[in-house]
Structure 1
């Protein structure tokens, strides 16, 4: 079963922007999410396969509406809840 991120051959998403972007992050929070993911992975809380699966398991509408690092943050929250590190809904505010 294809997931929302598997759009190979699907039309209607517009052209792919191939311009190089010299900035890895566009806001401070993106850099923090990047660091948080790497720190949690280094601690063995989750691995890259679990992280990728959490992103790809997002509901289609939520996935398409989210930016790259918003997807990362959703995946981190999902995995921390799944692993019992935080309570469900603890980060809702």
Structure 2
């Protein structure tokens, strides 16, 4: 499993960003290898969001990004925000 983390700074209306992100989430949810995600918003900086998404593997994630249907989602998010996307591999995990 890999984890994709993208820190967004929203430059447009927050409600519009969340709507566009939700549409993008629907796209990714239909892609092979997508395991799930969480979009969280900073508690004291309303322009700061973080998307944390789990994928089966890097190949599945990269294949989803190459889909032509992803291009409009990418463009819409870029109109409303800047992002800092990175891939991570788990080193340790503990759950209650």
Q: TM-score, normalised by structure 1?
A: 0.31
Structure with more strand by fraction: 2
Structure with more helix by fraction: 1
Q: Greater RCO between the two (CA within 8 Å, min separation 6)?
A: 2
